[in-house]
Amino acid sequence: MSRVAELTDSEGHTWVYDTGKMLGQGGAGQVFEGLGEDGTAVAVKVVDIGNGKDALRIHSREIEIGRSVAAAPDARHLLVNLGVAIIERTVVIIMPRAETTLERHLEQHGSGLGLDEALSISADITAGLSELAGIGIVHRDIKPGNILRIDGRWVLADFSISRDLADSTATWTRKGEGSTPYMSPEYMLSGIATVRSDLYALGVVLYEMLSGKRPFDSYGDTLRQAVLQNPPPPLPSTVNSALERVVLRLLAKDPAHRYSDARAVEEALDRVRTPLTQWQNRLASAAGGIARARANEVAERERATAAQAAAEDLCTSAILDLHDSMKAMTAAAATVLGDEIQMTVHQLNSIQSWKVRFGDYLLEVTVESRSHFHMQPGFPLVVGSVIAGPRVAKTDSVPMSQRAHSNLFFTPAPHGQGKWVQRIWVAPIAHFNAADPTDNNLWAEIGGEERDLQGLLYHDLPLTPERLWAPFVDLLEKAGRW
């Protein structure tokens, strides 16, 4: 329903806007069609800030940044506010009305823009970023929806989550906010954006202008993983090597590998426009190939690092779960046996063991984690052995001839999960000697990739605390019948 509202800004100017004619909306508010006193068409942004004190400070910061932009000596590529007002718990910002947004423009050209137009728009965006850098502002939300065409040129708009570098310690500058598809890897991880984070977003926008789609066009965890670990897909063959090299450098995972500032990007784009001789084209093509190979290598390293970290976390979690099971079962046994049953924990490098003693009898559970992890379904991250028998006082171990054997395997499963399995052997085989770990290796004996298990009889069961302790309980029952 249309309703015309009138307001007076902080400078005494009167504006009207129609709440029935919305130009756009987002997390920062709604934008309506409006008019100035002289009939000038404007856009009126209305933000309900609620009752939080920090919310008022955040939007006051947007107004302050807008004033800094207006005071800049040559802000031709930044949207300059025409007026502001704070009415009770509502912030109103009056802006020039745009001819269109880059988002709308790209929607009208589904397969991307021509090279000349993409370079021209990029020049305006980089000019805007240079102007922001000149007043110490990081935009933090560069995206097509925040790039407007006004009077024939493209300008940067919406400073609602921008950061004044002079206020680096402020807690109310909306840290970590922004549009995820345009977030740089370091901003995703830390919530802290720098000038080079804006350059990464510029790289996403430039890629989108050239190809008609974003380099990583998914959602949620899939998008996050792609941004952190995957190389950008190749651009269309119509994009020359020199320009592809610029895009790849803007999209570098490590901010140190991007351009130092927007002015350096402007210079690189100017070089792209320069006609090249045949040998210069060969040189540009070679450099583009090297940049693509480097991007693939970096992405592969990031994937390997992430997989290693995930495997290590999963391995640690698995061992902690096993520790909790051993601790809980010992406590349960103590309700029957009192302080006669004791558990000790031993660790040496990647080997951890639990020893449960009751009189002259011992339960040994020993596990070893890999030094190099493989997140492959079915391939164990942790292997171990379960041994129960009479205790040898000197070594506090179980004689080989008296051991009851089973093995433990912890293997990864899809979606970052895993499971413990207990392998019960029909006929015992050689096992790890917890008393002398330096002379034995669980991986060589039972966890090796090339271990031939053909002809050995066993069956695998999901590991439960009761199964884990079954050899020990069986041993005590047998001893009680002697």
Do 57 and 116 lie in one domain? The reply is no
Reference 253, options 299, 288, 292; nearest CA is 299
Q: What percent of the chain has pLDDT over 70?
A: 82
pTM of the model: 0.74
Do 179 and 83 lie in one domain? The reply is no
pLDDT band at 145 (very low <50, low <70, confident <90, very high): very high
pLDDT of residue 172: 41
Report CA torsion sign: 280, 283, 289, 293: negative
Residue 291 within a domain: no
Given a cut of 90, whether residue 53 has pLDDT beyond it is no
| CATH number assigned to the domain comprising residue 227 | 1.10.510.10
Q: Lowest-confidence range among 38-47, 152-161, 176-185, 408-417?
A: 408-417
Residue 309 within a domain: no
Mark which of 71, 97, 123 sits at the end of a domain.
97
pLDDT of residue 426: 58
pLDDT of residue 467: 87
Give the up-direction half-sphere exposure of residue 390: CA atoms within 13 A in the CB hemisphere: 7
Pair of tokens at residue 167 = 């206020």
Residue 248 within a domain: yes
pLDDT of residue 454: 45
Do 106 and 92 lie in one domain? The reply is no
pLDDT of residue 482: 58
Mark which of 236, 251, 274 sits at the end of a domain.
274
Q: Lowest-confidence range among 19-23, 28-32, 199-203?
A: 28-32
Given a cut of 50, whether residue 320 has pLDDT beyond it is yes
CB neighbours of residue 119 within 10 Å: 19
Residue 47 within a domain: yes
CA distance 184 to 191: 10
Q: 64 near 172, Cβ under 8 Å?
A: no
DSSP bridge partners of 251: none
Do 253 and 399 lie in one domain? The reply is no
Do 93 and 106 lie in one domain? The reply is no
**Structural domain that includes position 221:** 99-274
Do 146 and 265 lie in one domain? The reply is yes
Mark which of 50, 72, 97 sits at the end of a domain.
97
| CATH number assigned to the domain comprising residue 55 | 3.30.200.20
Residue 72 three-state SS: coil
Do 263 and 404 lie in one domain? The reply is no
Do 270 and 325 lie in one domain? The reply is no
Contacts of 339 (CB under 8 A, 6+ apart): none
Q: 119 near 34, Cβ under 8 Å?
A: no
pLDDT band at 446 (very low <50, low <70, confident <90, very high): very low
pLDDT of residue 25: 81
Pair of tokens at residue 427 = 């006929």
Q: 16 near 92, Cβ under 8 Å?
A: no
Q: What percent of the chain has pLDDT over 90?
A: 45
Between the alpha carbon of residue 13 and those of residues 60, 83, 116, 249, the distances in Å are: 19, 8, 41, 46
Quickly list H helices, 96-240: 102-108, 115-134, 185-190, 195-211, 220-229
Q: 165 near 92, Cβ under 8 Å?
A: no
pLDDT band at 425 (very low <50, low <70, confident <90, very high): low
Do 78 and 137 lie in one domain? The reply is no
Domain count, the chain: 3
pLDDT in tens, 269-306: 999 998 888 888 898 889 889 988 999 999 898 888 88
CB neighbours of residue 131 within 10 Å: 21
Q: Rounded to 10 degrees, what is the CA torsion of 272, 273, 274, 279?
A: 50
Residue 124 within a domain: yes
pLDDT of residue 154: 97
